Amino acid sequence: MQTLLDQANQSLGRLDGVTLLLPDPDQFIYTFVRKEAVLSSQIEGTQSSLSDLLLFEHDATPGLLREDAQETANYIAALNHGLAQIARPGAPPLSARLLREVHGRLLQSGRGSQQTPGEFRRTQNWIGGSRPGLARFVSPPAHEVIPAIAALERFIHDEPQATPILIKAAFAHAQFESIHPFLDGNGRIGRLLITLLLCSEGVMRSPLLYLSLYFKRHREDYYEHLQRVRTDGDWESWLEFFLQGVIDVAESTTRTTQRLVAMIESDRQSIHAFGRGAATAHRVHDLAARFVLLGAPQVAEQLELTSPPVYAAIDRLERAGILREATGRRRGKLYVYGEYLAILNEGTEPQ
């Protein structure tokens, strides 16, 4: 187990080190947060893809997918709120209060919005089955939720003793899922808890590690390990599964980030050859690398340019194969950084 823990810490360190080489870490955080939102929401049954989410944020999602895309967008709002709160100077340690705030944003609209957002449950819930007697797992009674969350909060705060951060994150996630403190959204909040813990304790400079891809690919094992913690107290197998996930995701995210950096630089070199108009094309390309999907009015506003040079730059980038039109519309066209999106899309296809 110690060897696996050492490997996980090393993989996490390498991923964190990559952020030091990025010209603009926020550029990658924007897109990785959206990939995590899609994956974590898909585990709960939504069918929207990363492309659907990006179109939704530009008010261009097909009607049938709008509700799923709204749930995914709520996840982004919840994560961003949590990250902003823990990043404040003098911010208190990660707390139950913050988790309630994050939950309130997660369920602010769409499915689940009637399930007391931001409040711990006052009634019984369970996992699987139409009633507790048929359930795969029955969570603690409602009157035990607040004491159980208080105990979890003390553990997170290293009371009575400190716990290595990756072990803490693994145990905190499993315990949170077993308490199931909310009527809805527990899985997503539990996965957010992992990221918030790693960032609040300074393990990562930028929030680039998200385990939802690993949990999605190994969904049945994920649920089975959590269940064995509850029924058999098998914390060791859960910890091995979790640490292997950290290794796999940290290494794959490191490779993905390196691929994106190399691709962006290669495209910049291609833009150099544009000659006249290359300067504007470079600026548009920089925005595409940050937002992946964009429209000409958005670009003109961001760059404080008039429409003609923006449309000319987009046309050059489209002819070079860097951007492509994503909507098929005659008006309100949107352009996607195709290869960038293809790399991010790996593993995010709805099942």
Residue 337: give its domain's CATH number: 1.10.10.10
Q: Dihedral (C-alpha) 308, 314, 317, 319: value to the nearest 10 degrees?
A: -80
Specify if 262 maps to a domain: no
The chain-wide mean pLDDT, for the chain, equals 92
Q: Are residues 180 and 57 in the same domain?
A: yes
Q: Is 253 within the bounds of a domain? A: no
The order of strands in the sheet holding 323-325 is 293-294, 335-337, 323-325
Residue 15 located in a structural domain: yes
Output the pLDDT for position 330.
Answer: 86
SS3 sequence of the chain: CHHHHHHHHHHHHHHHHHHHHCCCHHHHHHHHHHHHHHHHHHHCCCCCCHHHHHHHCCCCCCHHHHHHHHHHHHHHHHHHHHHHHHHCCCCCCCCHHHHHHHHHHHCCCCCCCCCCCCCCCCCCCEECCCCHHHCCEECCCHHHHHHHHHHHHHHHCCCCCCCCHHHHHHHHHHHHHHHCCCCCCHHHHHHHHHHHHHHHCCCCCCCCCCCHHHHHHCHHHHHHHHHHHHHHCCHHHHHHHHHHHHHHHHHHHHHHHHHHHHHHHHHHHHHHCCCCCHHHHHHHHHHHHHHCEECHHHHHHHHCCCHHHHHHHHHHHHHCCCEEECCCCCCCCCEEEHHHHHHHHCCCCCC
Residue 256 lies in a domain: no
336: left (phi over 0), alpha (psi -120 to 50) or beta: beta
User: What gap in Å lies between CA 71 and CA 163, rounded to an integer?
Assistant: 34
Q: Is residue 194 part of a domain?
A: yes
Residue 232: phi and psi, rounded to 5, are -120, -5
Same domain, 228 and 304: no
Residues 106, 23 within the same domain: yes
Judgement on whether residues 239 and 277 belong to the same structural domain of the protein: no
Is the pLDDT score of 20 beyond 80? no
Residues 145 and 205 occupy one common structural domain: yes
The parent domain of residue 324 ranges over 273-345
Whole-number Å distance between alpha carbons of 241 and 263: 33
**206-249, pLDDT tens digit by residue?**
888 899 999 999 999 999 999 999 999 999 999 999 999 999 99
Q: Tell me what percent of the residues of the chain surpass a pLDDT of 70.
A: 97
Q: Could you tell me which residue, 47 or 289, shows the higher pLDDT? A: 289
Q: Which two tokens stand for residue 204?
A: 């990562």
Residue 171 has pLDDT above 90, yes or no: yes
Return all residues near 62 (Cβ < 8 A) that are at least 6 apart: 52, 55
pLDDT tens-digit readout, 127-142: 888 888 888 889 999 9
* Number of domains the chain contains: 2
Q: How far apart are CA 232 and CA 113, in angstroms?
A: 34
Rounded average pLDDT over 24-29: 80
Q: Is 175 part of a structural domain of the chain?
A: yes
Q: What is the CATH number of the domain that holds 169?
A: 1.10.3290.10
Instruction: Say if residue 14 is in the same domain as residue 108.
Output: yes
Q: What is the pLDDT of residues 295-344, one digit of tens each?
A: 999 999 999 999 999 999 999 999 999 999 998 888 889 999 999 999 99
User: Is pLDDT of 109 > 90?
Assistant: no
Same domain, 241 and 290: no
Residue 156 tokens, joined: 């997170």
Assess whether 210 and 332 both reside in one domain: no
pLDDT at residue 265 greater than cutoff 70:
yes
Number of Cβ within a 10 Å radius of residue 41: 26
Cα–Cα–Cα angle for 41, 43, 47, rounded to 5 degrees: 60
Asked whether residue 264 is domain-assigned, the answer is no
Partnered with residue 324 across adjacent β-strands are: 336
Residue with tokens 């960032």: 199
Q: pLDDT of 142-156, one tens digit each?
A: 999 999 999 999 999
Q: Give the other-Cβ count within 10 Å of 113's Cβ.
A: 15
Residue 49: pLDDT above 60?
yes
Mean pLDDT of 283-291: 95
Same domain? For 168 and 281 the reply is: no
Residue 290 is assigned to a structural domain of this protein: yes
237 and 282 share a domain? no
d(CA 61, CA 326): 11
Q: At which of 248, 265, 284 does a domain end?
A: 248
CA–CA separation, 196 and 34 (whole Å): 16
277 and 227 both lie in a single domain: no
The count of other CB atoms within 10 Å of the CB of residue 63 is 6
Give the confidence band of 64 by pLDDT, cuts at 50, 70, 90: low
> Does the pLDDT value for residue 350 go beyond 70?
no
Is the domain of 186 the same as that of 297? no
Alpha carbon 137 to its chain centroid, in Å, reads: 26
